[in-house]
Structure 1
């Protein structure tokens, strides 16, 4: 009987072992690894999570088999039965009798539990909170495995968890966002490429098609390389971002498990836990350049210039292009300039607002302040009554001609220390409404135009840097001694179309000027050539006066000497020209205009002008041209010896006269001496026809 019982018990143990192995083989390898990993972690912990234990019941004919404790699950599920088949190479001896278990000498495993107990019918102590009851009638259940991920008893899964549908939706949104960003980048790149292609069309006309084609191909290649590099960098950043996000979302033991699985298997399964969120990229994503709004109808772009001439604009177009340096808005109907008008083009260097309807109240106080690099501002033909405020200090050229300016105070031009050219023609300015201190701040001013205003005297307070002064078409009646006291650099003065008389020009007004080379006094009220002209004068224009006389020695004090003298359209006659009227200009005078006067014969002194190349005597009352008045020639060959002939030939050769005009006089060309124009190298340069009829 005892032998049968032992045999029966041995068969029962074998069956249990075989059953457990079959169950273990049915568990996926991935789950076993997870159980081993978690089991090792739990085995090292002092707190053990209770596991559901299967129970095995004996039949009624056999004594009840005591419960087998689950001592440790470190080495796999088969260790549930370590107390039966031996633990760590040691084996417990049992004497099994019907109805009871007798303990022999036993080697038991040392436990690390907080609380232990020896179950009934056992010889070794077990952890009181981990007991596995085995019953033969129940369906075997493996309790050594860690709970499945959806087991609510697992504390690791108590954190928020996305469903598969939510995960798919999040991934889909991320993918759509990435695709949308890539499309936007491609779109902006295409638009930028189109703008550059449009610019390149203008360059083709200048540099030739072949050279431009190579440059265009090089630019396209560079743009394509930049675009590809940008896309690769974007994809790499997104990939690193996704990997980093997944790495941060996985619990620490899951990442370790994933690493272990990648080493053992070829297939990886990624389990995402917790909220899915985007991590900031490691590198900042480059911001594409701002898109340039389309230009209004009638506007065109060439290189760095936008041209909207006569485009029927009523306001400043909203242009955004930091590379733009020139904007042309001439010939529109713009009435105002708001403060934010040029915010999109801060690097503008040239701005043309001519021929619009801009008013002073319509200009914002900060309208031009943002244009720190503006050098040229043109506002001709508007309705301004004051100079615009807050003009950029970098301004070098300012034109406000043909407006309604009626005042310039001392602060109007205060900050324009770099201004070189100032044009204020065609306004309502006068010495009464222009402050004497208004122009003093302009330390760099060299070119000033104040024509077509209402000045009666030369404006006071001219900058010392002034070189060219234009005051034509005013009402200037006199030039005082102090007008040019501080303008030692002045070179050109234009005073035509005024009301000047020679006795209203002070003797010391400009005689001591050392750099003044040109004076234009045309169309004034002069009756004779003014005296006390500047010593350095080279160019004197007296056209359209009522000059009747050229005083003797009037040019005698000039050094190096007058070169250009224009006396056309006056009332000169032969009595008003003395033999010494041109004294001081014999060796320097190059051009002499005496046309449209009342001369009856060629004036004296012409033959003394060694440098003269251009002589106008047309439209006078000349009837004859004696041989000695223009060219020195031999009249009577019989009375002159050979030596004198040689001297005459040398004198003829020394003449520089190239152009002579005698048309519209009363000359009988048939009666002219053959020696009258012998000093002129080409007879085609002598104009004699037509002549007036008596």
Structure 2
């Protein structure tokens, strides 16, 4: 009699090697979407990259990874792993592991990690705490992603990041922080905390971040009083600051001197005080003030002093400007000017182009969706725009 076909799950569980769906290409192995609940037995012990994402793995034993001494990258994302899955410290045998992806699991606490690790992703889990010793021994970590968890400032020990003396990038987006965590590594160059509940940016939290180049604080609750006057004092390396989608009504004071890009989109900025950027002659190249509440009165004659030679990109679209700001023609190296979606009714003869500037760098000017009428535009108002396709005037608002 013919024997009934063997159940696929049973075949997988009882197999002495990887399931048939596993594919090996040279030193890479991928076992995706095969419904495994635990790791198979690996025949190729020389594999350097192992992809086990999108399965149902719940159990990892030290034996299941034993012998994979050359493994450099391990992807265990989108499984059913929790703290119990790592209770036997199964990852410590992977002495050459550099990249580990544990995204989209059920992990509450950081598991024991191999000292060789350089990149760790534990996004979209259930992390609730970072303890004093959670990164103990992981001194080579360069990039750490902990996005979409439930961490907050009180659940992160000030000593948690102490072992990470080489960390360059930290991502804490979409957690529950109301303020920046303490004890950030001095080596840090990129800090991203987009989509939290941050109401305070204290100087103490950033005191040691002297190498920080990029700070992303988008989509928070930062207002004018949230930022301490000394917050930026020690951030001498900061080049890119994103404070968009917050509650600011004015430009923050004492900005880092060497800042290159400042993004303040979707706030309630009404006023740019005179000489706000005077100390930044090194100099600011890109300023994004789109979707704010700036009126002509809110931009003073000396608002942009300190940026006239450095500014390359100025975005003032979607505000309440009734006129082209008087300072625009003072910029020597401006390339992009956006003024669309305002209430501008006229463009003066030399509002955009300075008559004494014989060499222009201006490539793009947007003035659509204002209240301009063609006869209100002088013939040579945009003679300095170098790209014939770069001037956009239509359509205009009709009310």
Q: Give the conservation status (yes or no) of the 8 Å contact 1:406–1:427.
A: yes
Task: Tell me which residue corresponds to 2:52.
Answer: 329
Structure 2 residue 27 is matched with structure 1 residue 304: yes
- 1:692 paired with 2:397, answer yes
- 1:361 is paired with a residue whose SS is helix
Superposed CA deviations along residues 137-158 of structure 1, whole A, max 9, x for unmatched, are: xxxxxxxxxxxxxxxxxxxxxx
Residues 279 and 306 in structure 2, CA contact (< 8 A), matched pair in contact too: yes
Match of 1:432, SS? helix
Match of 1:450 in 2: 172
Query: What residue number does 2:120 align with?
Result: 398
- Measured in 1, the distance between the counterparts of 2:140 and 2:281 equals 34
TM-score, normalization: structure 1? 0.54
8 Å CA contact 1:496–1:520 kept in 2: the answer is yes
Partner of 1:483: 205
Could you tell me how far apart the structure 1 residues matched to 2:223 and 2:93 are?
49
1:413 and 2:118 aligned: no
Residue 275 of structure 2 corresponds to residue 556 of structure 1: no
Equivalent in 282, 293, 318 of residue 596 of structure 1? 318
Give the drift of 1:294.
4.9
Shift of 1:368: 0.6
- Write the distance in 2 (CA, Å) between the matches of 1:658 and 1:594: 16
Kept in 2, the 8 Å contact 1:318–1:344? The answer is no
Is the partner of 2:215 in helix, strand or coil? strand
Match in the other structure for 2:3: none
2:68 is the counterpart of 1:345: yes
Tell me the distance in 2 between the aligned counterparts of 1:669 and 1:331. 59
Q: Give the Å deviation of 1:362.
A: 2.0
Higher fraction of helix: 1
Deviates more, 1:508-517 or 1:415-424: 508-517
Measure, in 1, the Cα distance between the counterparts of 2:344 and 2:32. 53
TM-superposition CA deviations, 1:189-244 (whole Å, max 9, x none): xxxxxxxxxxxxxxxxxxxxxxxxxxxxxxxxxxxxxxxxxxxxxxxxxxxxxxxx
Rounded Cα–Cα distance in structure 1 between residues aligned with 2:291 and 2:20:
51
Deviation at 1:366, TM superposition (A): 2.6
2:361 is aligned with 1:656: yes
Deviations 1:636-693 (A, max 9, x none): xxxxxxxxxxxx4xx2x32210011111112123442210110112322101121111
Q: What CA distance in whole angstroms lies between the structure 1 residues aligned with 2:21 and 2:292?
A: 51
**4+ aligned runs moved over 6 Å, structure 1:** none
1:8-19 counterparts in 2 under 5 A? none
Match of 1:315 in 2: 38
For the 8 Å contact 2:365–2:391, the answer to whether it is kept is yes
Equivalent residue, structure 1, for 2:104: 381
How do 1:666-685 residues align onto structure 2 when only pairs under 5 Å count? Answer: 666-685=371-390
Partner of 1:508: 230
In structure 2, what is the Cα distance between the partners aligned to 1:468 and 1:356?
29
Rounded to whole Å, the distance in 2 between the matches of 1:367 and 1:322 is 16
Contact in 2 for aligned 1:339/1:364 (Cα 8 Å): no
Name structure 1 gaps, 5 residues minimum. Answer: 1-291, 634-647
- 2:82 equivalent in structure 1: 359
Query: 1:503/1:314 Cα in 2 relative to 1: closer, same or farther (>3 Å)?
Result: same
Is 1:543 equivalent to 2:265 in the alignment? yes
Q: What is the alpha-carbon distance in structure 1 between the residues aligned to residue 246 and residue 330 of structure 2?
A: 30
Secondary structure of the structure 1 residue equivalent to 2:351: helix
SS at match of 1:368: helix
Contact 1:631 1:676 in 2 (8 A): yes
Aligned 8 A contact 2:207 2:234 in 1: no
Tell me the alpha carbon deviations over residues 66-121 of structure 1, each in whole angstroms, 9 at most, x when there is no partner. xxxxxxxxxxxxxxxxxxxxxxxxxxxxxxxxxxxxxxxxxxxxxxxxxxxxxxxx
Q: How does 1:629-644 map to 2 (within 5 A)?
A: 629-633=351-355
Question: Any idea what SS the aligned residue of 2:154 has?
Answer: coil
The 5 Å alignment of 1:186-335 reads 294-335=17-58
What is the DSSP-based 3-state SS (H/G/I as helix, E as strand, rest coil) of the residue aligned with 2:293? Answer: coil
After superposition, residues 494-533 of structure 1 pair within 5 angstroms as 494-533=216-255
Q: Does residue 627 of the first structure (1) align with residue 349 of the second (2)?
A: yes
Distance of 2:221 and 2:31 partners within structure 1 = 42
| Aligned mates of 2:392, 2:228 — CA distance in 1 | 41
Give the distance between the partners of 2:370 and 2:21, measured in 1 at CA: 56
Count of residue pairs the alignment pairs up: 385
Q: Does the alignment pair 1:426 with 2:131?
A: no
Cα contact 1:669–1:688 (8 A) shared by 2: no
Greater relative contact order (CA < 8 Å, ≥ 6 in sequence): 2
Post-superposition offset of 1:549: 0.7
What is the TM-score when the length of structure 2 is the normalising length?
0.93
